[in-house]
Homo-oligomer: A and B are copies of this chain.
Amino acid sequence: MDLEVVTIGTELLLGFTVDSNAAEISQALASIGGQVSRRTTVGDERDAIRAAVADALHRARFVIVTGGLGPTKDDITKHAVANIFQAPLELDRDYLATLERRFEKLGRGPMPETNRSQALVPRGAIVLPNPRGTAPGLWLEGAVGAVVMLPGVPHEMRWLLTHEVVPLCQERIVRGGGTPSMTRSRTLRTTGISESQLAVDVQAVEPGLAPITLAFLPTLGGVDLRLTAWSMPQAQADTALEAAVAALRPVLEMHVYGEGETDLAAVVLQALRRDKLSLAVAESCTGGLLGGRLTAIPGSSDCFAGGVISYANDSKVRDLGVSPALIDEFGAVSEQVAEAMAVGVCRRFETDVGVAVTGIAGPSGGTPEKPVGTVCFGAKVRHKQRAITRWIPGGRQEIRARATQAGLDAVRRMLQHD
């Protein structure tokens, strides 16, 4: 089932509101095999709405519209859509009574005259009751196709989508003689490898994954690899996805740290818990972000002891026992100092594992030998120690976010693969 979505609202076009409704509609419809082929956003103008909905109907014959159903005079979706169907608006006395009861129940006095317009319904439309608000959903169908109108307020839209639109669409699919097919996805999360290198590594197995498609999604934490099974019965989709994941895992090796929404910090904590190890952090350029990521995970106090934000060099010496001679010789941003910081924080916090980050996040502080983005990591896991340097592109926040992820990943690789 192909459909289009039209979201209406000048505040969406102005960019003051991010269009979360559109994403929710796509997800809800995909779960029952509906596929949104195009999404259009227009402002609160009757001609623009009419044109956008008519175009969408022409292409897809099934259109979900959100927004522009409120009682204020800029809410004109209903008029524009009714006009496409040449359906006059008529007062729905049942719905008017429902509305009046609603106002009575809220005890805010009699219903304002402006709300009467919400009981106007295009002739032939099915009214979808909305217990969360005053604007009903409307399902209008004719020779040109079907348009479902939903209010733009997110929690009202969500209620109608889940309780009315999805069940009605499911019925429609079954009535049409289709076996409900769906679009399902799984995501492999990678880090420490570039998008282009990932593409090269995957090249050999990719043709064999069909009908599963791959999408590469770069984030500040690495590159996610989304596998999608399009429009097929659920069991078939699940089997195909499982086979594709099984084919990709050996190729991607230790670059994969999890699936779906898995957080790298949670993976590290799980590995620590499994091995009954405790962790402390020593942070310079990340300034607390590493601790912040770890303590974001509920129950992290099991294995996370704490750490030192040694932003000033004094603190590296005083709190982490780094020798001033080492800093003089190699510089505060060096593998030697990073390793000494990791060792020092383990000693101070009496932990088995320590990780340290020291780098140049910019915008100033770079030198020709150590440009902005140079970050050194030290990690100690029991008696093993390691230090690496990475050159991270981007601005200060990007460097810090990527350095935090890389610090976590340094520990993960030592815990999982050494």
Q: Is the CB of A27 within 8 A of B42?
A: no
Q: Does A10 have its Cβ within 8 Å of any Cβ on chain B? A: yes
Contact of A15 with B23 at beta-carbon distance under 8 Å, contacts A308-B308, A396-B298 already known: yes
Instruction: Answer whether residue A349 sits at the interface, using C-beta atoms and an 8 A cutoff.
Output: yes
> Which residues from B are CB-within-8-Å of A226?
11, 16
Chain B: CB-nearest residue to A217: B11
Closest B residue by C-beta to A111: B196
Does A287 contact B296, Cβ atoms closer than 8 Å?
A: yes
> CA separation between A407 and B30, bound complex, in Å?
40
A88 at interface (Cβ–Cβ under 8 A)?
no
Copies of this chain present: 2
Chain B residue contacts of A22, Cβ below 8 A = 15, 19, 41
One of B18, B30, B363 near A20 (C-beta < 8 A): B18
Measured in the bound complex, the distance between the Cα atoms of B295 and A124 in whole Å is 52
Contact A108 B194 (CB under 8 A): yes
Partner pick for A71 among B15, B20, B199, B398, CB 8 A cutoff = B199
A9 to chain B, nearest CB (A): 8
Contact of A134 among B14, B196, B285 (CB under 8 A): B196
Tell me whether A367 is interfacial, beta carbon within 8 Å. Answer: no
B contact residues around A194 at 8 Å (CB): 108, 112
Given A14-B30, A106-B391, A216-B72, A40:B40 Cβ within 8 A = yes
| Chain B hits for A36, CB < 8 A | 13-15
Q: Once the chains are docked, how many angstroms separate the CA of A298 from the CA of B395?
A: 11
Report Cα–Cα, A55/B42, bound state, in Å.
14
- Stretch of A77-85, A138-146, A312-320, A409-417 on the interface side: A312-320
